């Protein structure tokens, strides 16, 4: 919700940095930083494709590196105060291959600034961001898109900041494409104009799957089963609207020969298409009430309780090495209740279970 505010602060900071610090030094630092991130993003993006072409013995983790993270780094990166400082990294031959090739491309880009490699890193950033980020609710998505709609218009039309930073920025944080056969005449599409609508489109396809599960009276699941076909009206409609929005942006840019805020066109196209699809299908209320993960977690919790009451094999993890399960005969004990755990064993309903 605060992304437009933080984005404005970051954008203005870059503008001031390029104004008062050497642009060469700024691009050197940012290219190095984003280039290293791009190597990881590109490797993780292509790895599933590479794994599908390699035999299993090359994709299984056969190597590992263990080390203890220094105390200073633990304070910076640890999510919890008592987090284990020991790090164990496992990797395979396919990891070595994809990271090696990605690092080679990163070196070529740092030396030549070749725009094709630049775009490869940019696309990888977009794919990983869309894969990792979820907005959970359509109401949150609509508010975020509205905020970014205003953000984009203000910084492009209201000031020179956005255009100045975009033209000065050499790091892979945008997509560069030719506007004509003139090699010096290029268009720029910010990664935010891909990532933000992409996250919204991802929300739409998961809502498609959710509605299909409800119609077929199956329990909703969090992960979309790509192998099983299901109707995708929201996904298809919003994706087409996004493409039309991009085309409109390009046409307006060519007609007026001026930079255009892409979200000025992408937000209305995608949002109104999603709302129109929901209204035409009588699912507007379902859309606004939809929350990713909430129903799925409740359903899994209910299923776990039902299995425990029936005495089915539902393991309870006490420590990483100790598991306790309910008795197979439900007449003896209806459910498992953990009383205490000690070095001599685990006490269940007052009876010791030796480990």
The residues that are catalytic are: 152, 193
- Pairwise CA distance, residues 97 & 119, whole Å: 21
Cα atoms found within 13 Å of the Cα of residue 309, Cβ hemisphere only: 6
Max distance between CA atoms of the chain, in angstroms, equals: 82
What distances in angstroms separate CA 329 from CA 78, 200, 309, 323, 347, one per listed residue?
44, 49, 11, 18, 18
Pairing of strands 63-68, 174-178: unpaired
* Structural contact between residues 348 and 324, judged by C-beta atoms closer than 8 angstroms: yes
Question: Is 351 in contact with 340 (CB distance < 8 Å)?
Answer: no
> Cα separation of 264 and 269, whole Å?
9
12: tokens are 């203005």
CB contact at 8 A, 36 and 55: no
User: How many other CB atoms are there within 10 angstroms of residue 246's CB atom?
Assistant: 18
Q: How far is 346 from 168, CA to CA, in rounded Å?
A: 65
Nearest alpha-carbon partner for 224 in 201, 206, 236: 206
| HEC readout, 128-146 | HHHHHCCCCEHHHHHHHHH
């Amino acid at each position: 919700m605060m992304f437009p505010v933080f984005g404005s602060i970051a954008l203005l900071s870059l503008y001031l940095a390029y104004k008062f610090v050497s642009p060469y030094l700024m691009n050197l630092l940012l290219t190095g930083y984003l280039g290293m991130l791009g190597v990881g993003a590109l490797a993780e993006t292509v790895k599933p494709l590479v794994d599908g072409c390699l035999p299993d013995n090359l994709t299984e983790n056969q190597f590992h590196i263990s080390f203890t993270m220094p105390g200073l780094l633990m304070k910076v990166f640890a999510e919890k105060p008592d987090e284990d400082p020991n790090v164990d990294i496992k990797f395979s031959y396919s990891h070595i291959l994809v990271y090696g090739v990605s690092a080679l491309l990163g070196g070529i880009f740092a030396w030549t600034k070749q725009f094709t490699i630049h775009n490869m890193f940019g696309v990888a950033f977009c794919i990983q961001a869309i894969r990792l980020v979820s907005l959970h609710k359509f109401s949150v998505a609509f508010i975020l898109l509205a905020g970014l709609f205003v953000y984009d218009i203000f910084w492009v039309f209201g000031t020179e900041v956005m255009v100045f930073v975009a033209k000065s920025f050499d790091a892979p944080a945008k997509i560069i494409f030719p506007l004509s056969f003139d090699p010096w005449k290029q268009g720029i599409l910010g990664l935010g104009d891909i990532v933000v609508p992409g996250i919204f489109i991802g929300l739409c396809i998961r809502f498609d799957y959710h509605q299909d599960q409800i119609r077929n009276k199956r329990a909703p699941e969090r992960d979309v089963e790509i192998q099983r076909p299901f109707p995708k009206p929201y996904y298809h409609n919003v994706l087409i609207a996004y493409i039309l929005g991009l085309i409109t942006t390009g046409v307006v840019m060519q007609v007026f020969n001026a930079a255009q805020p892409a979200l000025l066109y992408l937000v209305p196209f995608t949002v109104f298409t999603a709302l129109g699809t929901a209204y035409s299908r009588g699912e507007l209320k379902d859309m606004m009430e939809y929350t990713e993960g909430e129903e799925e977690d409740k359903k899994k919790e209910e299923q776990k309780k039902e299995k425990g009451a029936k005495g089915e094999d539902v393991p309870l993890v006490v420590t990483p090495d100790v598991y306790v399960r309910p008795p197979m005969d439900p007449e003896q004990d209806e459910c498992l209740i953990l009383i205490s755990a000690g070095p001599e064993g685990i006490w269940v309903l007052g009876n010791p279970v030796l480990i």
